[in-house]
Amino acid sequence: MSRSTRGAGLLAGLVTVALLLAGCAGADAVGEVPDEPVTGGVLQYGTDVQPVAGGIDPYVAASFAAQNVYVQIYESLLTKDDDGTIQPGLAESWKEVDPTTYRFTLRDGAAFSDGSPLTVDDVIFSFDTMKESGAAQASMLTALDSVVAVDDRTVEFRLSTPSGAFLNLVAGEGTGVIVSKDWYTSTPPEERQRTALGTGPFRLTAWQDNVVLSLRRNPHYWDAPHPYLDGIDFRIIPDDQARLAALRQGTVDAIWIGDQQLSEQVEQEGFQVGQNAKTRDLTIYVDTTSGPLASTEFRQALSTGLDRDQLATLASYGYGEPSLVVPVGDPASVGPDADTPHYTHDAAKARELLAASGVEEPTVTLTYPSDAAFARDVALYEVMQEQLKDVGITLKLHPAPWADILAGYVSGSYTGLTVVPGTAQPDPSGYFAPFLAPTPMNKTGAAGKAASALFGKYVATADPEARTAILEQLEDEVADQVLVLVPYVVAQRQEIWSPRLQDYDVDPYSFRKHLEEAWLVP
Ordered DSSP codes for 248-286: HHTS-SEEEES-HHHHHHHGGGT-EE----S-EE--EEE
Which of 12-16, 216-220, 330-334 is predicted with the least confidence, judged by mean pLDDT?
12-16
Residue 396, classed as helix, strand or coil, is strand
At 262, which CATH number?
A: 3.40.190.10
Do residues 127 and 146 touch, judged by C-beta distance below 8 A?
no
Mean pLDDT of the chain: 90
What φ, ψ does residue 513 adopt, rounded to 5°?
-65, -25
The model's pLDDT over 66-108, given as tens digits with 9 standing for 90+, comes to: 888 999 999 999 999 888 889 999 999 999 999 999 999 999 9
H helices, E strands: number in the chain: 17, 24
Residue 365, classed as helix, strand or coil, is strand
Verify that 39 and 86 share a domain, yes or no.
Answer: no
Verify that 311 and 456 share a domain, yes or no.
Answer: yes
193-209 core/surface letters (b: 16 or more CB in 10 A; e: else): bebbbbbbbbbbeebee
Number of domains composing the chain: 3
- What do you get for the CA distance between the two ends of the chain, in Å? 52
Which range is most confident: 41-50, 265-274, 425-434?
A: 41-50
Q: Amino acid identity, residue 309?
A: D
* Contact residues for 275 (Cβ-Cβ < 8 A; gap 6+): 491, 494, 506
Higher pLDDT, 112 or 53: 112
**Does some domain include residue 452?**
yes
User: What confidence score (pLDDT) does residue 139 get?
Assistant: 66
Decide: residue 313, CB within 10 A, 0-12 exposed, 13-18 middle, 19+ buried: middle
Share of the chain above pLDDT 90, in %: 69
Q: Amino acid identity, residue 21?
A: L
User: What confidence score (pLDDT) does residue 137 get?
Assistant: 66
Residue 203 in this model has a pLDDT that exceeds 80: yes
How sure is the predictor about 29, in pLDDT bands with cuts at 50, 70 and 90?
low
Q: Which of 19, 71, 45 is nearest to 495 (CA)?
A: 45
At 118, which CATH number?
A: 3.90.76.10
Radius of gyration of the chain (CA): 23
What φ, ψ does residue 90 adopt, rounded to 5°?
-70, -20
**Does some domain include residue 320?**
yes
Average pLDDT over residues 360-365: 96
Q: How many residues does the chain have?
A: 522
The model's pLDDT over 298-309, given as tens digits with 9 standing for 90+, comes to: 999 999 999 999
Verify that 339 and 396 share a domain, yes or no.
Answer: yes
**Does some domain include residue 366?**
yes
Which of 139-148, 151-160, 350-359, 461-470 is predicted with the least confidence, judged by mean pLDDT?
139-148
**Does some domain include residue 153?**
yes
Verify that 484 and 512 share a domain, yes or no.
Answer: no
Q: Which of 27, 18, 113, 21 is nearest to 70 (CA)?
A: 113
Verify that 106 and 148 share a domain, yes or no.
Answer: yes
Verify that 135 and 147 share a domain, yes or no.
Answer: yes
At 478, which CATH number?
A: 3.10.105.10
Nearest-angstrom CA–CA distance, 335 and 325: 9
Higher pLDDT, 321 or 268: 321
The model's pLDDT over 229-260, given as tens digits with 9 standing for 90+, comes to: 999 999 999 988 999 999 999 999 999 988 77
User: What confidence score (pLDDT) does residue 24 get?
Assistant: 53
Verify that 313 and 399 share a domain, yes or no.
Answer: yes
User: What confidence score (pLDDT) does residue 154 get?
Assistant: 98
Parent domain of 369: 280-490
Residue 380 in this model has a pLDDT that exceeds 70: yes
Q: Are strands 231-236 and 42-47 parallel, antiparallel or unpaired?
A: parallel
Verify that 261 and 323 share a domain, yes or no.
Answer: no
Which range is most confident: 225-229, 326-330, 424-428?
A: 225-229
Verify that 410 and 423 share a domain, yes or no.
Answer: yes
**Does some domain include residue 17?**
no
CA 113 → CA 57, 104, 477, distances in Å?
16, 22, 46
Verify that 244 and 130 share a domain, yes or no.
Answer: no
Domain final position from 183, 216, 236: 183
Which of 8-12, 180-184, 206-210 is predicted with the least confidence, judged by mean pLDDT?
8-12
Verify that 321 and 465 share a domain, yes or no.
Answer: yes
Longest dimension (CA), the chain: 71
**Spacing of C-alpha 362 from chain mean position:** 33
Domain final position from 124, 154, 183: 183
Q: Which of 141, 142, 148, 149 is nearest to 168 (CA)?
A: 141
Verify that 287 and 382 share a domain, yes or no.
Answer: yes
Residue 311 in this model has a pLDDT that exceeds 90: yes
User: What confidence score (pLDDT) does residue 491 get?
Assistant: 87
Residue 394, classed as helix, strand or coil, is strand
How sure is the predictor about 26, in pLDDT bands with cuts at 50, 70 and 90?
low
Q: What is the 3-state secondary structure (H, E, C) of 193-247?
A: CCCCCCCCCEEEEEEECCCEEEEEECCCCCCCCCCCCCEEEEEECCCHHHHHHHH
How sure is the predictor about 493, in pLDDT bands with cuts at 50, 70 and 90?
confident
Do residues 429 and 455 touch, judged by C-beta distance below 8 A?
yes
User: What confidence score (pLDDT) does residue 11 get?
Assistant: 30
Residue 492, classed as helix, strand or coil, is coil
Nearest-angstrom CA–CA distance, 514 and 521: 17
Q: What is the 3-state secondary structure (H, E, C) of 119-175?
A: CHHHHHHHHHHHHHCCCHHHHHHCCEEEEEECCCCEEEEEECCCCCCHHHHHCCCCC
**Does some domain include residue 59?**
no
**Does some domain include residue 144?**
yes
Nearest-angstrom CA–CA distance, 134 and 146: 17
Residue 18 in this model has a pLDDT that exceeds 50: no
**Does some domain include residue 255?**
yes
User: What confidence score (pLDDT) does residue 65 get?
Assistant: 86
Which of 32-41, 133-142, 175-184, 347-356 is predicted with the least confidence, judged by mean pLDDT?
133-142
Question: CA 382, 485, 378: angle at the middle one, nearest 5?
Answer: 25
